[in-house]
Amino acid sequence: MSAVAPATPPAFPTFPPEHYLNAEQGIKSWLLTTDHKRIGLLYLISVTLFFFLGGLFAVLIRLELLTPQGDLVQAETYNKLFSMHGIVMVWFFLVPVIPTVLGNFLIPMMVGARDVAFPRLNLASWYIFNFAGLLMLWTVLTGGVDTGWTFYTPFSSIYSNTHVVTAALAVFIAGFSSILTGLNFIVTVHFMRAPGLTWFRLPLFIWSNYANSLIMVLATPVLAITLLLVALERLLHIGVFDPQYGGDPVLFQHLFWFYSHPAVYIMVLPAMGVVSELIATYARKPVFGYTFVAFASVAIAVLGFLVWGHHMFVTTQSLYSAMIFSFLSYAVAVPSAIKVFNWTATLYKGSVVYTSPMLYAFGFIGLFTIGGLTGLFVAALGVDVHVTDTYFVIAHFHYIMVGGTVMAYLGGIHYWWPKISGRMYPEGWAKLAALIIFIGFNLTFFPQFILGYLGMPRRYYTYPDEFQVLNVLSTAGASILGVGYILPMFYLAWSMRYGPVADANPWPSTGLEWRTTSPPPPHNFETTPVVTWDAYDFSSLEPPLGANQLDTNDHRGGSLENEKR
Amino acid sequence: MSSHFQLFPERASTVAGHVDALFAFLTGVSVFFTLLIFGLIIFFAVKYRRRSPDEVGTPTTSVALETAWTVIPFGIMLVMFVWGASLYFTLYRVPAGAMEIQVVGKQWMWKFQHLGGQREINELHVPTGRAVKLVMASQDVIHSFYVPAFRVKADVIPGTYRTIWFEATRPGTYHLFCAEYCGLQHAGMIGRVVVMEPQQYQAWLDGSSAAGGAETSPVAAGHKLFLDLGCHTCHRLDQQGIGPMLTNLFGKEIQLQNGQTVMADEDYIRESIVDPLAKVAAGFQPLMPSFQDRVDEEQLMQLITYIKSLGTQQAQAVTALPPQGGAKASGLAEAWQGATTTMPAPPQRRETQP
């Protein structure tokens, strides 16, 4: 196993004598910690467990779909499998994963603070999350829920015979942990930035997590209210959604998507922040159009609240409101496009190195581009009528939420692994995993676009014979994807003990988190940093990188000639 | 419904080609931008690969480029938006003179009734070359009527009517799916749409009637219900009833008690039967009881079809009624207590809490 060679190898990197991992010992020191870095690791353990639980459901779904008949499981089990896959993956993995693991670990360090604004609230949010997760697990073990992750009424509120109330309660409670995390980040970014760290010197990871926190705080309560109403209708037969009592089933969809569409951006905005960091570091230059990328995050957060109606183009929504939602859906695509173009342009005249986190970042851009472009299909009213509720939509949102978010998350975990663990991971294995995931992902989900346009509806455990070839391809891809997701578990665990000790700034990068030891001390910095440089300014490093090149306007002149020669 | 492998769906309606054209445009744009992004990334990554360990990139920025890749994609998207919206209006605006078929979705089957009375379950026969309008209701949860070969889909939502239309172009047998998850046997709520040449379709209608597939027509069935439920005791033809006269009612603006007006369409009539006090017509007392638990969605549709027919046939059928009901006051009570005991039970709902 070879490890990444640090760019500027120090003599022999060694662990600092005291760091956040060894400052206190014992289980109690972890369960009662208020250190944002330790809480980030606690979250890492929780969300990883939920990822593999949700993944187990996905495996069973894909195996059942190998054949057109219902042979592995029957309707009842299948319906519970896709419901719990969705609920676990959305609320217990995708929504929390980047903010709570990477966000918790990094945001205070990136702004030069000792901790988040409310450290105890931070720990409380982890306990709330786990309590919700245990309730969800209890729901699964006692029989599960079969409403789909969307809980559509009146099926969920009247007709389903499964554990809707406990599942909804679990999601309801998990929402509070989201809100507390969002609140903590907003206050931290506003009030705890180091001297000199102005808004426009902040890393883009902070911008996107800030925008994301706003959505979490503003949208999550709507979900909570909606699920509460479903539970009340089930228990007390109040007529909010049930037409039998004068309710409106479509009202549920309005309320649900008012949260759940912004939730898509909750999942993808932090991922965009990670990718901006990776590209800047490994192209070794500032992100192209920093302010455009920063404001694109804010634009996505704002416009994301105005597009919920595009989930209801085939319901009883009026033709004119459908038109408005279609238009706004195209409008929200613009800031995403701006980001993709800016990341691409960042490579121009960069100094690009193909480390494994960079491969994940490339993978993210590729999959997010496909996911985003297919979003234009479902925003087009006339085409959405045909493809909505088919596998086309399944493929589209998996490209964004799994292809996008999980790629960025894994890229981020690798990139910051030396900071988190103090050791380097085996680079060869990491590259292999990135490659396997990219190939497996496309093989899993690309055939589903075709299946969707052919008309295969989602949430079917049996299907007509002519859809089988594409389903077999998809299942084959899923098995490759599964291997790709399991690999990092092993080599990252291995590296915690056997990986070479990492330098404080191995890549090197410009963020404040890299200007302290690896792993960092309990309170992050020996002295409060004072920031005098813009984000991604490589000449701010000590000693400055490429100092001998800065006297020429374009250091590329020489290398072009080298190429010709 | 071929069982061999395919990559592109069959095209069997007048709109299918239009949907595919927009799809092709979207695919073209997407392929172009995907290749552009992938190509640029690979090109830059190779050309600007790091050549020495302490090399740094040259900071670059360009407001002109930022403007270009904001404005140009948005312009292209506007084309998609306008094209998609105009297609959407075509898909959901029913042309005049469309042939009506009634559809009820329930867990887990599709029930159809042709205006001639022919009934079908999970199979729908339609002619080519004629616009067909489906008036759809759900007996229980949300379903979605979806025929991929026609590129049409519409959610069928309990408590309201949904119309959708298509004009089939190619004889054949096509998939019918329920596209909105509706519970245990959602995947079993499938059927076939059989498209036939007009002559064969007529022959099928006749044959189906002869074979007993057609019971009474929806109008006749609705008329019978109207009598059985005692509706005629209040909704009389001579303007002397305690309820509004229903002749020539359909499609008119109705003045309500609260001063508002409402269009007397299928949804209004349906609501007036299941929740009569919601919108009471001006000049009438809020006396009518709800018939929600007495009639199912199919019967509601038959009643509405009958009421619609009153607009055109001058209500001759009703004048021939036997004079049951007698005096207004006692007739009212009798009418809605008697005569309905044979009605089917309301749809099955969950009995127990988990």
Residue B115 tokens read as 């205006």
Give B350's pLDDT tier (boundaries 50, 70, 90): low
Helix (H) / strand (E) element for B121: namely strand B119-121
Query: Looking at the structure, do residues B15 and B155 belong to the same domain, yes or no?
Result: yes
Query: B57 and A146 in contact by Cβ < 8 A?
Result: no
Closest Cα in chain A, distance from residue B286 (Å): 17
Q: Please list every residue in chain B whose beta carbon sits closer than 8 Å to the beta carbon of residue A246.
A: 275, 278
Q: Which of A165, A290, A461 sits opposite B187 (nearest CB)?
A: A461
The whole-number pLDDT of residue A332 equals 94
Residue B50 belongs to a domain: no
Closest Cα in chain A, distance from residue B315 (Å): 32
Give A561's pLDDT tier (boundaries 50, 70, 90): very low
β-pairing, B253-255 vs B261-263, is: antiparallel
Choose the mutation target among B153, B161, B163, B300 for the interface with A, i.e. most A CBs under 10 Å.
B153
The whole-number pLDDT of residue A549 equals 47
Residue of B nearest to A342 (CA): B66
Query: Looking at the structure, do residues B117 and B157 belong to the same domain, yes or no?
Result: yes
Q: Which of A148, A455, A546 sits opposite B9 (nearest CB)?
A: A455
Q: Which of B7, B53, B160 sits opposite A8 (nearest CB)?
A: B53
Query: A381 and B58 in contact by Cβ < 8 A?
Result: no
Alpha-helical runs (H) found in A380-426: 381-387, 391-398, 407-421
pLDDT reading at B337 higher than 50: no
Which residues are CB-contacts of A97 (< 8 A; sequence separation ≥ 6)? Answer: A47, A51, A405, A409
The whole-number pLDDT of residue B340 equals 37
pLDDT reading at B351 higher than 80: no
Q: Which of B1, B30, B178 sits opposite A373 (nearest CB)?
A: B30
* pLDDT tens sequence across A449-465: 999 999 999 999 999 99
What would you measure as the largest C-alpha separation in chain A, in angstroms? 80
Query: Looking at the structure, do residues B249 and B300 belong to the same domain, yes or no?
Result: yes
pLDDT reading at A53 higher than 60: yes
Mean pLDDT of chain A: 92
Residue A11 belongs to a domain: no
Q: How many domains does chain B have?
A: 2
Residue of A nearest to B177 (CA): A457
CATH number for the domain harbouring residue B231: 1.10.760.10
Residue of B nearest to A317 (CA): B155
Residue A18 belongs to a domain: no
Query: Looking at the structure, do residues B301 and B331 belong to the same domain, yes or no?
Result: yes
Collapsed DSSP state (helix, strand, coil) of residue B126: strand
Query: Looking at the structure, do residues B149 and B106 belong to the same domain, yes or no?
Result: yes
Which residues are CB-contacts of A184 (< 8 A; sequence separation ≥ 6)? Answer: A116, A117, A118, A121, A122, A125
Give B54's pLDDT tier (boundaries 50, 70, 90): confident
* Mean pLDDT value across residues B79-92: 94
Query: Looking at the structure, do residues B181 and B260 belong to the same domain, yes or no?
Result: no
Residue A4 belongs to a domain: no
Residue A322 tokens read as 């459908």
Query: B185 and A75 in contact by Cβ < 8 A?
Result: yes
How far is the C-alpha of A172 from the C-alpha of A174, rounded, in Å? 6
The whole-number pLDDT of residue A556 equals 38
Give B327's pLDDT tier (boundaries 50, 70, 90): very low
Residue B300 tokens read as 């509601």
- Which residues in B72-100 are b (16+ Cβ under 10 Å) and which e? ebeebbeebbebbbebbeebbebeeebeb
The whole-number pLDDT of residue B247 equals 84
Percent of chain B at pLDDT above 70? 85
Percent of chain A at pLDDT above 70? 94
pLDDT reading at A442 higher than 70: yes
Query: Phi, psi at residue B262, to the nearest 5°?
Result: -145, 150
Residue A433 belongs to a domain: yes
Q: Which of A152, A327, A348 sits opposite B44 (nearest CB)?
A: A348
Alpha-carbon separation of residue A72 from B112, B190, B318 (angstroms): 33, 21, 58
The whole-number pLDDT of residue A560 equals 33
The whole-number pLDDT of residue B352 equals 43
* Mean pLDDT value across residues B295-305: 87
Which residues are CB-contacts of A527 (< 8 A; sequence separation ≥ 6)? Answer: none
How far is the C-alpha of B45 from the C-alpha of B47, rounded, in Å? 6
Residue B105 contacts residue B162 (beta carbons within 8 Å): no
Q: Which of A250, A341, A369 sits opposite B157 (nearest CB)?
A: A250
CATH number for the domain harbouring residue B198: 2.60.40.420
Query: B146 and A455 in contact by Cβ < 8 A?
Result: yes
Q: Please list every residue in chain A whose beta carbon sits closer than 8 Å to the beta carbon of residue B73.
A: 333-334, 337
Residue A184 tokens read as 């903590």
Residue B87 belongs to a domain: yes
Domain around B279: 218-337
The whole-number pLDDT of residue B219 equals 85
* Mean pLDDT value across residues B56-72: 93
* Mean pLDDT value across residues A27-55: 96
Which residues partner with B100 through β-bridges? B133
Residue B91 belongs to a domain: yes
Which one is predicted more confidently, A290 or B329? A290
Q: How many domains does chain A have?
A: 1
Query: Looking at the structure, do residues B252 and B113 belong to the same domain, yes or no?
Result: no
**ipTM value:** 0.90
How far is the C-alpha of A245 from the C-alpha of A253, rounded, in Å? 18
Q: Closest Cα to residue B235, out of B246, B250, B220, B224?
A: B246
Give B336's pLDDT tier (boundaries 50, 70, 90): very low
CATH number for the domain harbouring residue A259: 1.20.210.10
Q: Please list every residue in chain A whose beta carbon sits closer than 8 Å to the beta carbon of residue B34.
A: 369-370, 373
Query: A373 and B38 in contact by Cβ < 8 A?
Result: no
Q: Please list every residue in chain A whose beta carbon sits closer than 8 Å to the beta carbon of residue B94.
A: none
Collapsed DSSP state (helix, strand, coil) of residue B102: strand
Q: Please list every residue in chain A whose beta carbon sits closer than 8 Å to the beta carbon of residue B58.
A: 285, 349-350, 553-556
Residue A13 belongs to a domain: no
Query: Looking at the structure, do residues B110 and B247 belong to the same domain, yes or no?
Result: no
* pLDDT tens sequence across A11-26: 577 888 899 999 999 9
pLDDT reading at B333 higher than 50: no
**Residue B202: CB atoms within 10 Å:** 12
Residue A230 tokens read as 């479903």
Which residues partner with B133 through β-bridges? B100, B165
How far is the C-alpha of A213 from the C-alpha of A194, rounded, in Å? 20
pLDDT reading at A389 higher than 90: yes
Residue A164 contacts residue A234 (beta carbons within 8 Å): yes
* Mean pLDDT value across residues A64-93: 95
How far is the C-alpha of B217 from the C-alpha of B219, rounded, in Å? 5
Residue A9 belongs to a domain: no
Q: Which of B70, B80, B140 sits opposite A338 (nearest CB)?
A: B70
CB pairs under 8 A between A and B: 317
Q: Please list every residue in chain A whose beta carbon sits closer than 8 Å to the beta carbon of residue B30.
A: 370, 373-374, 376-377
Q: Which of A161, A246, A342 sits opposite B350 (nearest CB)?
A: A161
Residue B17 tokens read as 């080609």
Cβ under 8 Å to B: A residues 258-317: 283-286, 288-290, 292, 313-316
pLDDT reading at B346 higher than 70: no
Which one is predicted more confidently, A334 or B264? A334
Query: Looking at the structure, do residues B132 and B258 belong to the same domain, yes or no?
Result: no
Query: Phi, psi at residue B136, to the nearest 5°?
Result: -120, 140
A146 touches chain B (CB under 8 A): yes
Residue of A nearest to B72 (CA): A334
Domain around A179: 27-558
Question: Which has the minimum average pLDDT: A269-283, B212-226, B338-352?
Answer: B338-352
Residue B352 belongs to a domain: no
Residue of A nearest to B32 (CA): A373
The pTM of the full predicted model, rounded to 2 decimals, is 0.88
* pLDDT tens sequence across A154-206: 999 999 999 999 999 999 999 999 999 999 999 999 999 999 999 999 999 99
Closest Cα in chain A, distance from residue B203 (Å): 29
Question: Which has the minimum average pLDDT: A325-329, B200-204, B239-243?
Answer: B239-243
pLDDT reading at A491 higher than 60: yes
Query: Looking at the structure, do residues B152 and B240 belong to the same domain, yes or no?
Result: no
The whole-number pLDDT of residue B318 equals 41
pLDDT reading at B170 higher than 60: yes
Query: B9 and A390 in contact by Cβ < 8 A?
Result: no
Query: Looking at the structure, do residues B37 and B177 belong to the same domain, yes or no?
Result: yes
* Mean pLDDT value across residues A462-480: 96
Say what angle helices A164-191 and A75-89 make with each other, to 10 degrees: 10
* Mean pLDDT value across residues A468-477: 96
Query: B48 and A380 in contact by Cβ < 8 A?
Result: no
Residue B195 belongs to a domain: yes
Residue B346 belongs to a domain: no
* Mean pLDDT value across residues B103-117: 92
How far is the C-alpha of B177 from the C-alpha of A314, rounded, in Å? 14
Q: Which of B200, B215, B230 is the last residue of a domain?
A: B215
Query: Looking at the structure, do residues B211 and B330 belong to the same domain, yes or no?
Result: no
Q: Which of B196, B215, B234 is the last residue of a domain?
A: B215
Residue B3 belongs to a domain: no
